Structure 1
């Protein structure tokens, strides 16, 4: 451990690596083996490296112990956030208050994970993304770079809604490709893909894949028109 500061009631496990100029708030728990890079801020009541607990009737495979969490340089982890074991947070990521990042999640550099956001297990989130307040990223989803997800967006991965064993073979999260954008309160159904620069209007329900550079709107969402040239990622 190097030059860092910590508040009151901080618990640091064994074999934890903490870089230079790291600030750790009050009542923080850092579990065994966690790696934290330089110039990172960990605010009050944060938990890093938590091993997941499995419900008795969960469909997730039982895992005895996952590898430690890795936090990059220049990261901010907001008050009361929880970062699970085997998560990897790249440089300059901002995780706001009350967010949850589950196990086996990777988050690319300079991405913002907003207040109250939940990123479920086995997700990949790219670089320069914005996941805004209270959006929900379902398990087994892939979000590429420069994706914008507005507040209260819901993504889903179970077409069978917890009925019948058949569902075990069909779990699939959503895919949002580079430059995709999703408006507030939209719902994305399981396995659907929003292609590059696709845009989903607020309140829409996506039941089919969204084509590249298309704007979709409504319930169910249908293509309205193409994204204007001035709005395309390549022109920013």
Structure 2
């Protein structure tokens, strides 16, 4: 049965926006053309959905000049206050986005993933289902996270070994890969292109300079294997 949409004050909804049943839209929300919003979605105050990306005049990466396809918000999603969801981002069903989150263009976020307050997910990332990205972590562009990945607060991932010097870097940007069940502790830093294999774990404050093998727990700067993840901590043994 269709249930009406509740819309707050000063909301701007552009042309060709599709809005499902039982949707709540807060105050001062802007929804750009063509955006698709599913059923049972809650959008809090000051949210922007479907924004086209922009670049500074002196940006190293130039705009392609083409307008991206609209954003898509799946059934049951919640989007917190002052969050921005860019064009061509896809949130699958029951994704929870907390306040002050940025989800850039060409990002896909899987079912029932939780994106914590102040998280930034840069362009061209894929996030699996039932992940937990906690407060103020940073997911660099071109990264891939599998299912059931845990990223603790203030984790930093990186994708540029050249730190913005020399043209050589332009075809070598590479995000991080965290495979299913991987976990990264608070304030850890992951260097460009590094892979954390299934059920790999990175201790808080560590700097990952080499790939982390499946079920290994690594610690320190640079991070080194300390031991294997205990059996009772493996994803396969969780209820």
TM-score (norm 2): 0.97
Alignment of 1:72-151 (within 5 A): 72-151=74-153
The 2-side partners of 1:90 and 1:69 are apart by: 11
The separation in 1 between residues aligned to 2:92 and 2:171, in whole angstroms, is 32
More off after superposition, 159-168 vs 52-61: 52-61
Alignment pair present for 1:49 and 2:57: no
Once residues 61 and 179 of structure 2 are traced to their aligned partners in structure 1, the CA distance between those partners, rounded to angstroms, is 26
Assess, with a 3 A threshold, how the Cα gap between structure 1 residues 2 and 49 changes in structure 2: closer, same or farther.
Answer: farther
Deviation track 1:213-235 (CA, whole Å, cap 9, x = no partner) reads 00000000000000000000000
**Structure 1 residue 57: deviation in Å?**
2.5
Partner of 1:218: 220
Q: Which residue of 2 aligns with 1:200?
A: 202
Q: CA deviation at 1:169?
A: 1.7
Q: Name the SS of the counterpart of 1:168 in structure 2.
A: helix
TM-score normalised to structure 1 length? 0.98
Runs (5+) with no aligned partner, structure 2: none
Identify which of 152, 163, 166 aligns with 1:164. Answer: 166
Distance 2:214 2:58 in 1: 39
- Gapped runs of 5+ residues in structure 1? none
CA RMSD across the alignment: 1.0
Counting matched residue pairs gives 236
Per-residue CA deviation, residues 126-163 of structure 1 (Å, 9 max, x unaligned), is: 00000000000000000010000000000000000000
